[in-house]
Amino acid sequence: MARARLQDVAEVAGVSMKTVSNVVRGYVHVSPATRAKVQRAIDDLDYRPNESGRSLATGRTGLLALAFSDISIPYYSELARCVSTLARDRGYRVLLEQTDGTLDAERAIVSTSEAGLVDGVLFQPSTLGSSEIARHRSDIPVVLLGEAQAPVSVDHVMIDNVAAAREVTRHLASLGARRIAFLGHERSALSPTSKVRLAGYQEGLEAEGLPLDMGLLVASDAVSSASADRAVTEALEAGLRFDGLVCRDDLAAIGAIHALGAAGVRVPDDVVVSGWDDVAMASFTQPGLTTVRPDMAALASTALGMLEQRIAGFDELGRHVLVGHEVVYRGSAPENLQR
Amino acid sequence: MARARLQDVAEVAGVSMKTVSNVVRGYVHVSPATRAKVQRAIDDLDYRPNESGRSLATGRTGLLALAFSDISIPYYSELARCVSTLARDRGYRVLLEQTDGTLDAERAIVSTSEAGLVDGVLFQPSTLGSSEIARHRSDIPVVLLGEAQAPVSVDHVMIDNVAAAREVTRHLASLGARRIAFLGHERSALSPTSKVRLAGYQEGLEAEGLPLDMGLLVASDAVSSASADRAVTEALEAGLRFDGLVCRDDLAAIGAIHALGAAGVRVPDDVVVSGWDDVAMASFTQPGLTTVRPDMAALASTALGMLEQRIAGFDELGRHVLVGHEVVYRGSAPENLQR
DNA sequence: CTGAAAGCGCTTACAG
DNA sequence: CTGAAAGCGCTTACAG
């Protein structure tokens, strides 16, 4: 049996399509008798409105794209959970777009080759520069997430990365660390995320009167615990010594703790370690991870709110919003430490 | 400036809409001269085909729903990464649907109130029973993933959970464990996943001549390391003693290792532990996790292949496919252990 | 190889 | 409160 259309319902109920449409969309000014009659026809025919027809008529799809490098990275999967839940509350569904952090895929996000698929885009770029983002198709609303430099024309939500990095760096220093390394940035072509966190790390060192030693910067091949593990192991084997370690993200910190343990270096006794993101696993390392926790709920809801305004037609300059963060203290760099 | 339509391009290029459509869709039989003329107009007008119009005309959206309880659970985020990547290769994009494992949300997945949004659904139920799934709207193709009992009418891909659970249980026994506990099933209303894995656990005990002791079944409040941690801690405090622990999933195992460590119980010396899923973090626990690794690539590609066939019109009985798995040995229950 | 026209299934002014 | 009709932007037989 072919799928019933709005028109079929109208015929069976003996009313116009407009009336059926009103009932389907829950429009209030329909007489109870008519409504009942229509509802009956809907049930009899097992009618479901066709979204494509509706989208074409309204110009809306109720879909939002959520774009970032890799959903299997815990920060992104936790973000996706948060965004998806909040989006649903606002009547939207979420389309997943993975870029793998490649330039081509990131370009495709901001210069989509088709229209009418999503109403708006939430995008956390990994590599795409501000100027290219600025040239994005202006006809589809975009809100940027994360550390990338954002063009003035585009909305942007992030936490104060420099401040947070300064904070954790100074905290490690306050625990007595004097040779504080940084772990997890790219070997070449620094991501915006690494840039701002390194900047805060440097400021933290300065504030504590510690010298910046480029030899203490330990790069990693990928955003993964395995790469970080390898990087730390190699650094230790090459003779690098440090008593503090600021990690670009929790995955790096998890890899680092593993590598340090394998090398017989004790955390926090020999090295204090901080992470970034406070992913679920940060409570389950041995010891637990001191880490920067972004206010993800605020981040997601702020971004969604701005995106909704853009979809509704708001067309002013980009708004650049900072949401909060806090440092969560666990065993890897306790709030107070007796050495 | 209003968005250009196919018709605008046709007018500018001085050809019919049909010809423009042919060019846009890459149809081969268009003369080079015409193609160039049309392409020029497309570029000049910055034309992008509208997906809603296309969907309405073709009856396809190129969208697949991926539905499961919670994207922040590592197994699901790794699955989403895999499915999303493979789907893209096949020309599909992925819509994320989280059910939180609730009955209502799971019902909504199989009895969608709208049509024409997605071409097909990949669905891993947490609680929905086979009979309700069988009554699903037959007009939208569904392929089931995971352990839920599937109706004969519906395609289904899973690994052999009973065999895998038997295998790890026997492995723990082979290492000398005699009181092998099970961790991570629901306190009430067992999920299908827990059921099959418990069944295999029981078979493994039998095969090893070990008694089934209901007291060794440690339930957890949620699929999370934190709940598992709590459950194990409480069990230990209540005096439960065991020398082997089969965990329903890696999250439970991660929580268990944490709890055992906190209680001064050594893994693997005092207790050998196995997990399930081989999530990325399984290599980074201390010690590393011996765990069941499903062949996720095979799972995803098999499911997508079957879904594509259904979308193309295949309408026979459901196919029920087992994909492979292997046990990955790490420190928590090494391949060979000298006690 | 290309054109003119119908149709996909909705919504929404415009009338009444 | 309800109807008749146009229109959203495509694709696709059907002709030529």
Task: Give the pLDDT score at B286.
Answer: 93
- B95, B261, B283 member nearest A95 (Cβ): B95
Task: Give the pLDDT score at A29.
Answer: 79
Task: Give the pLDDT score at B114.
Answer: 79
A316-322: long-range pairs with CB below 8 Å, 24+: A317/A152, A317/A153, A318/A150, A318/A151, A318/A152, A318/A153, A318/A154, A318/A155, A318/A156, A319/A155, A319/A156, A320/A150, A320/A155, A320/A156, A321/A155, A321/A156, A321/A157, A321/A158, A322/A157, A322/A158, A322/A159, A322/A160
pTM of the model as a whole: 0.95
Cα B232 to Cα B213: distance, rounded to the nearest angstrom: 16
Which structure tokens are listed for A107? 């370009």
Give chain A's domains with CATH numbers.
6-49 (1.10.260.40), 61-159+295-325 (3.40.50.2300), 161-293 (3.40.50.2300)
Query: How many interface pairs between A and B have CB atoms less than 8 angstroms apart?
Result: 148
Task: Give the pLDDT score at B337.
Answer: 62
Protein residues with Cβ atoms closer than 7 angstroms to any atom of nucleic acid strand D: A 14-19, 22, 28-31, 34, 53, 56-57, 59, 115-116; B 3, 5-7, 17-18, 21-22, 24-25, 47-50, 52-54, 56-58
Terminal Cα-to-Cα distance of chain B (whole angstroms)? 77
- Provide, in whole angstroms, the distance separating residue B61's CA from nucleotide C8's C1': 13
Q: Does residue B1 surpass a pLDDT of 60?
A: no
Cα B95 to Cα B26: distance, rounded to the nearest angstrom: 26
pLDDT tens by residue, B250-303: 999 999 999 999 999 999 999 999 999 999 999 999 999 999 999 999 999 999
Better-predicted residue by pLDDT, B151 or B205: B205
- Is the preceding peptide bond at A287 cis, omega within 30 degrees of 0? yes
- Provide, in whole angstroms, the distance separating residue B142's CA from nucleotide C6's C1': 33
Chain position carrying tokens 């050998």: B272
Q: Does residue A72 surpass a pLDDT of 90?
A: yes
Q: Does residue A116 surpass a pLDDT of 70?
A: yes
Over residues B236-240, the mean pLDDT reads 97
pLDDT tens by residue, A45-57: 889 999 999 999 9
Neighbours of A209 (CB within 10 A): 7
- Provide, in whole angstroms, the distance separating residue B1's CA from nucleotide D16's C1': 37
Cα A120 to Cα A112: distance, rounded to the nearest angstrom: 11
Q: Does residue A242 surpass a pLDDT of 80?
A: yes
C-beta atoms of B49 and A114 within 8 A: yes
Q: pLDDT-derived band of residue B115, with 50, 70 and 90 as boundaries?
A: confident
Task: Give the pLDDT score at A149.
Answer: 85
Q: Does residue B2 surpass a pLDDT of 70?
A: no
Cα A238 to Cα A221: distance, rounded to the nearest angstrom: 17
Interacting residues of B172 by C-beta distance below 8 A, sequence separation 6+: B180, B244, B245, B246, B272, B274, B333
Q: pLDDT-derived band of residue B113, with 50, 70 and 90 as boundaries?
A: confident
> Would you list the DSSP string of B252-311?
HHHHHHHHHHHTT--TTTT-EEEEES--GGGGSSSSPPEEEEE-HHHHHHHHHHHHHHHH
Q: pLDDT-derived band of residue A338, with 50, 70 and 90 as boundaries?
A: low
Q: Kindly report the bases of strand D lying within 7 A of a protein C-beta atom.
A: 1-13
Over residues B218-231, the mean pLDDT reads 98
Better-predicted residue by pLDDT, B122 or B133: B122
pLDDT tens by residue, B176-219: 999 999 999 999 989 999 999 999 999 999 999 999 999 999 99
- A254 to chain B: nearest residue by CA? B284
Contacts of A67 in chain B (CB under 8 A): none
Task: Give the pLDDT score at B177.
Answer: 97
Lowest mean pLDDT among A96-110, B271-285, B325-339: B325-339
Q: Kindly report the bases of strand C lying within 7 A of a protein C-beta atom.
A: 1-13
Please say whether the dihedral angle defined by the alpha carbons of residues A262, A264, A268 and A272, taken in this order, is positive or negative.
Answer: negative
- A287 to chain B: nearest residue by CA? B258
pLDDT, chain B, mean: 93
Q: Does residue A28 surpass a pLDDT of 90?
A: no
Over residues B84-110, the mean pLDDT reads 94
Share of chain A above pLDDT 70, in %: 98
Q: Could you tell me the strand order of the sheet in which B325-328 lies?
A: B217-220, B180-186, B244-247, B272-276, B290-294, B325-328
Interacting residues of A170 by C-beta distance below 8 A, sequence separation 6+: A204, A207, A208
State how far the alpha carbon of A91 is from the alpha carbons of A88, B83, B101, in Å: 5, 25, 20
pLDDT, chain A, mean: 93
Q: Does residue A339 surpass a pLDDT of 70?
A: no
User: How far is the alpha carbon of B31 from chain A, nearest alpha carbon, in Å?
Assistant: 23
Task: Give the pLDDT score at A27.
Answer: 80
C-beta atoms of A71 and B71 within 8 A: yes
Nearest to A282 by CA among A319, A333, A336, A220: A333
Task: Give the pLDDT score at B328.
Answer: 98
Which structure tokens are listed for A225? 């615990």
Which structure tokens are listed for B121? 């659904």
CB A43 within 8 A of CB A98: no
User: How far is the alpha carbon of A117 from chain B, nearest alpha carbon, in Å?
Assistant: 5
Q: pLDDT-derived band of residue B25, with 50, 70 and 90 as boundaries?
A: confident
Q: Does residue B99 surpass a pLDDT of 60?
A: yes
Q: Does residue B249 surpass a pLDDT of 60?
A: yes
State how far the alpha carbon of A21 is from the alpha carbons of A47, B56, B99, in Å: 12, 18, 29
Over residues A179-189, the mean pLDDT reads 96
Nearest nucleotide relative to A50: CA against C1': C9
Q: pLDDT-derived band of residue A1, with 50, 70 and 90 as boundaries?
A: low
Over residues A200-211, the mean pLDDT reads 98
- Provide, in whole angstroms, the distance separating residue B27's CA from nucleotide D8's C1': 25
Nearest to B68 by CA among B200, B167, B192: B192
Over residues B298-314, the mean pLDDT reads 96
